[in-house]
Amino acid sequence: MDLVPALEEPLKKVLGPATAKVMAEHLGLHSVGDLLHHYPRRYEERGQLTHLADLPMDEHVTVVAQVADARLHTFASAKAPRGKGQRLEVTITDGSGRLQLVFFGHGVHKPHKELLPGTRAMFAGKVSLFNRRLQLAHPAYELLRGDAEETVETWAGALIPLYPATAKLESWKIGKAIQTVLPSAQEAVDPLPESLREGRGLLPLPEALLKIHRPHTKADIADAHARLKWDEAFVLQVALARRRHADAQLPAVPRKPAPDGLLSAFDDRLPFTLTDGQQKVSKEIFDDLATDHPMHRLLQGEVGSGKTLVALRAMLAVVDAGGQAAMLAPTEVLAQQHHRSIVEMMGELAEGGMLGGSEQGTKVTLLTGSMGTAARRQAMLDLVTGEAGIVIGTHALIEDKVQFHDLGLVVVDEQHRFGVEQRDALRGKGKQPPHLLVMTATPIPRTVAMTVFGDLETSVLDQLPAGRSPIASHVVPAADKPHFLTRAWERVREEVENGHQAYVVCPRIGDEEDDPKKARKSAEDEAEKRPPLAVLDIADQLAKGPLSGLRVEVLHGRMHPDDKDAVMRRFAAGETHVLVATTVIEVGVNVPNATAMVIMDADRFGVSQLHQLRGRVGRGSAAGLCLLVSEMPEASPARQRLNAVASTLDGFELSRIDLEQRREGDVLGQAQSGARTSLRVLAVIEDEEIIAEARQEATAVVEADPELTGLPGLRTALDALLDEEREQYLEKG
């Protein structure tokens, strides 16, 4: 019979069903290997209390200290009217500070017997403030009984690992469980090739696991971290390198623009010259298009840096070379907008085959899910005959019925809204795999690009085209200073009086049934117990109140597509003064005359989302204004996040702030799905060098041995990383 390898042994066999259940439900740990990779968050030196001045409010802490005194008080209360209520107050100290513990009612008996002055213990609980003093109410505790021969010195010097814990499972219980399974660490299979490990002087994996859970010195911890960071970076980069390698084996048709074809005719029409950045990035794209395996490129550009123009030139080059290009947009509003702006930019070149169209021109077709049957049929016909060189659409393009004459290039706008399975479905419509260009306006730090978009080569547009105006951003603290909000509406009126327009953005539509579970997500939301502000309510209040007399319209995702398009057309034509919308306007909406934006409940949006939204104003020659309205208190993390957004227009700087605040795990999307994050010790921002080096090493390993036949340990680690969920996540990019 096959023995289950030690690390795959399920925890319920080793630790018993009750503990295993809590570990699976609350920490996502199922096997011995999972538990060994549940690393300590930090280490406590025995006899060193987390300095009391540094105890964070409202957080679960674990402290190691000595009982200084314990007093039992009786008092009268509603439950114990005759003075029979009991309260035990215990003061603990670490020599540098003191902290009060309180126990009530029947909970006083056990601690009253055990927590005698002089006793040392670990205490875990949530720090709260009572009578202006920090306290832990009803903390869990574990007495520290040194063995008789253990001297005070060695006892005080030992490092106690503190694990990421939950209210259901204290750190020391996790620690005890880990001690139980630690011997199995000897059987851990090492994923790193020996040459790499020795070349970089890294510990073998079993030793690293031992040292991270039972360190004797701080150097042990540092060595273990250095080794485990490499594992994470390297295994992930090998996964990405294998995808790049597999993609590079695919054949593609090289697409070179004709010398005086459509692209030259388009360039001659442009009323301005391309920025240096646009020229450099275009060259990278054209070089890729000319090769006989598919381009896979990520084009990152600040909001308004002219990505669409670069993508359009790539599409024209492919049409020149006899192929077709498809642009995939995440929403109908955006697909219609791209279609409009591309047709405008191309002028008569977009009317190929029509009266008055240019000789060299081609047809630019729109295909979305809500089009009428006749229009749809015509669009499909244009695609299959090759009449339309360029098609712009939503995922309607991916449907089985849609056939192309010769699809040569797929441009995906805002990649984070599309999965690779959708990219692949569209790719499958080419006779050979088409070239792929992915665009995003969310600036991504280099390391994150290497981690999340590691299967794509990256081009960055960081210059803004001439004629873009600066955007002033301010936080409006609606609760502390209501007159600031009044002034915000006056500013909107002033912009309209000067012939401009404004957006007001809200987190919610307001016609849905208020589901209390949905309305309250984070602890900050809990604090205020009110659902996020809604478009329909705010539009109504503004039209009757501070903006009465102005033409106010609403736009949100649940409107009929024709209505949405009509609202956008009226706003673009300047007929509407103020557009009250949800984040449907976040991406790509271009109305140069809109100069002001007021974002309600701005603290409910992420940093990069606020940056995206703000990019909708200041698109013309007049300066832009963005007001971030929030009721969160001055000192809250939410307000600090808004201050950061108001303080800089640099998207790369903001994406770093965003990452530091969200903690790296989310970068790989695991936090969203509620599963464990695949990054445990690797910090995407700080460990930039390790990630870059791991990418080089991984590329070399995969080039030499794409199937990893000589590295069974690495194959096992890859399978573990790419279990279903993560595979899907990497797929979605």
Tokens of 543: 């039209």
d(CA 583, CA 600): 11
Q: Is 407 left (phi over 0), alpha (psi -120 to 50) or beta?
A: beta
pLDDT tens track for 551-596: 999 988 888 888 888 898 899 899 999 999 988 776 556 788 999 9
d(CA 319, CA 324): 5
Contacts with 244 (C-beta within 8 Å, 6 or more apart), sequence order? 296, 454, 455, 699
Contacts with 724 (C-beta within 8 Å, 6 or more apart), sequence order? none
pLDDT tens track for 571-581: 989 999 999 99
pLDDT tens track for 268-308: 988 888 888 899 999 999 999 999 999 989 898 876 678 88
Distance of CA 130 to the CA centre of its chain: 37
pTM of the complete model beyond 0.75: no
pLDDT tens track for 456-470: 788 888 776 666 677
Q: Which of 17-31, 253-267, 300-314, 656-670 has the lowest mean pLDDT?
A: 656-670
Of the candidates 638, 728, 610, 603, which has an alpha carbon nearest to the alpha carbon of residue 675? Answer: 728
Q: Alpha helix (H) ranges present in 368-407?
A: 373-385
What sign for the dihedral angle of Cα 529, 535, 539, 540? Answer: negative
Q: Is 586 exposed, middle or buried (0-12, 13-18, 19+ CB in 10 A)?
A: buried
Does the structure show a pLDDT above 60 at 381?
A: yes
How large is the average pLDDT for residues 74-96?
77
How large is the average pLDDT for residues 614-639?
86
Does the structure show a pLDDT above 70 at 729?
A: no
- HEC letters along 626-656: EEEEECCCCCCHHHHHHHHHHHCCCHHHHHH
String of DSSP letters for 194-239: HHHHHHTTPPPHHHHHHHHHS-SSHHHHHHHHHHHHHHHHHHHHHH
3-state secondary structure (DSSP) of residue 260: coil
| Percent share of the chain, pLDDT over 70 | 81
Q: Is 104 exposed, middle or buried (0-12, 13-18, 19+ CB in 10 A)?
A: middle
Q: Which long-range contacts (CB under 8 A, 24 or more apart) does 171-178 make?
A: 171/62, 171/122, 171/124, 172/62, 172/122, 172/124, 172/142, 173/19, 174/23, 174/27, 174/38, 177/11, 177/15, 177/19, 177/23, 177/35, 178/35, 178/36, 178/38, 178/213
Among 154-163, 241-250, 356-365, 665-674, which range has the highest average pLDDT?
241-250
- Contact call for residues 171 and 25 (beta carbons, < 8 A): no
Q: Is 545 exposed, middle or buried (0-12, 13-18, 19+ CB in 10 A)?
A: exposed
